[in-house]
Structure 1
């Protein structure tokens, strides 16, 4: 089978198509014929060597975490899935394995049945970004119409899911995004929008109960200027020091820094599937072919697009 891999850390130029054997499966696994893979920032952070401590430096490495496809075979102990089922999911170890291939073998606990009303590229867009949005939503605690929430960098995949999850809470949600994505922010549920190309949200005289920075550009030290006493700053890309020290420091400060750590699970994916059944939409702004993998990652890494970027495989 064909797969996308790399033999050294680097930019998109290190990606190459290689031939490997179709994976065999264990009793608890399924073999999925991949139809689509979505791109996540984690993919290129691993490829660029920014996560060597976790990924190691053994090559070749594969790329892609989230996928959708059709089950071709199921292990003897798999009870909830069968050949022909349309599913979406993620590879078990994205520091080593990759979904951007013609076939993947994964545990049955790492997949879910794809809703009939969405495409494979939409299904492949759910796991990482969707689970992160559910985690953020839950970390916000009790939200009501008096809650004032700011989402910085609001219209990528994470923000797309989070805005729609917040829509039914009645909270006052402000989305910070670029000019071309303002309409998407409003469509997904933002009550007000800030065009970061024209205005600096930190200079406005509005304070918030919750600030979440999806752009990784607003530091907690800056966000405190627009946070109420007792407010939360949710950080989905925390550094190791943030993870270790924030819980202790929060004991002594009114404005709290919360490190978000997340993974798709038996709890958060069903919540997304329920939301999708009730009308949550998934925007895939651009789709590439398998042979355009390098171009797909180049485009994705530039940012500035609404929703997700995906690659069709089969």
Structure 2
């Protein structure tokens, strides 16, 4: 089978497509034939060496976190899924390994694929969809009537965060580039701000939650946008930001929350339900596994709307 690996930290040039044997499963595991894998910013942060503390420095390493596929084989103790079932899932966010023809998972790693979407769309769901759910429902704790600012609203997480925040009854302001203005309005944003024409630093309003998905808005700069008891959510975890947020939250009414994705069976259930009830899934580009370097290079430039995915045969 084909698998993408790397033997040192670096840019996309270190990614290699190699042949390996199909892995064997234990009785509590499933073998998945992978159909598609999504591209996430965390991927290049890991293979670029920015997450060594979490990922470790032992090689070879693998790429790809979330995926869609078909159950090829189920262990005797795996009872929720059977051979032939279409599924979505995700692997350890700092270890990866989904970019392969076959992968081994446990039942808690996967959920049934929504029947009304393609495998490509399904691969784009787990990381960004579960992240958006965790941000909206837990970290920002958004409730009806609240004012929410989402910075970087046309990225993978933003597409879902806008829609889910609206479903929770919030008034949503989306900050996007020029080409994302019409798209964010389609997803339900009440106000759409083109940051090339109105910098976020000049916004006059305050919000119950400011969600930064661009990784470019610091907590210090966001404070003036926050109401006295409000939440700032960042998707950029690091030891320094985690310590800073802990100390800040002891003394300040303006809380800083850091997303560390924690997938759960209940989270998967909610996500699948949303997808089956019309959640818009936006795909930017699809790539073959042989063009994996190109896929990551183009995605890293950050000009896409929604998610890009790599399709396997």
Q: What is the aligned partner in structure 2 of residue 210 from structure 1?
A: 209
Return closer, same or farther for 1:103/1:227 CA change in 2, 3 Å cut-off: same
- Size of the aligned set, in residue pairs, is 312
Cα distance, 1:94 vs. partner?
Answer: 4.2
Q: What is the aligned partner in structure 2 of residue 300 from structure 1?
A: 299
Q: What is the aligned partner in structure 1 of residue 90 from structure 2?
A: 90
Q: What is the aligned partner in structure 1 of residue 18 from structure 2?
A: 18
Please report the TM-score for the alignment, with normalisation by the length of structure 2: 0.96
Cα distance, 1:231 vs. partner?
Answer: 1.6
Q: Does 1:45 align with 2:48?
A: no
Q: Deviations over 1:181-236 (max 9, x none)?
A: 11111111110111112211221211111101000100010011221111211112
Q: What is the aligned partner in structure 2 of residue 271 from structure 1?
A: 270
Q: Deviations over 1:43-96 (max 9, x none)?
A: 1111011111222222211100111111110001010111110111112x3433
Q: What is the aligned partner in structure 2 of residue 75 from structure 1?
A: 75
Q: What is the aligned partner in structure 1 of residue 160 from structure 2?
A: 161
CA contact (8 A) 1:33 1:69 kept: yes
Q: Distance in 2 between matches of 1:189 and 1:172?
A: 9
Return closer, same or farther for 1:227/1:61 CA change in 2, 3 Å cut-off: same
Q: Distance in 2 between matches of 1:181 and 1:226?
A: 22
Q: Distance in 1 between matches of 2:186 and 2:96?
A: 36
Cα distance, 1:142 vs. partner?
Answer: 4.9
Moved beyond 6 Å, runs of 4+: none
Q: What is the aligned partner in structure 2 of residue 133 from structure 1?
A: 132
CA contact (8 A) 1:128 1:263 kept: no
Deviates more, 1:248-257 or 1:20-29: 248-257
Q: Does 1:60 align with 2:68?
A: no
Residues 222-261 of structure 1 correspond to what in structure 2 (within 5 A)? 222-261=221-260
Please list every run of 5 or more consecutive structure 1 residues that lacks an aligned counterpart in the other structure.
none
Please list every run of 5 or more consecutive structure 2 residues that lacks an aligned counterpart in the other structure.
none
Q: Distance in 1 between matches of 2:142 and 2:205?
A: 21
Equivalent residue of 2:263, what SS?
A: coil
Deviates more, 1:135-144 or 1:181-190: 135-144
Deviates more, 1:252-261 or 1:42-51: 252-261
Q: Does 1:123 align with 2:122?
A: yes
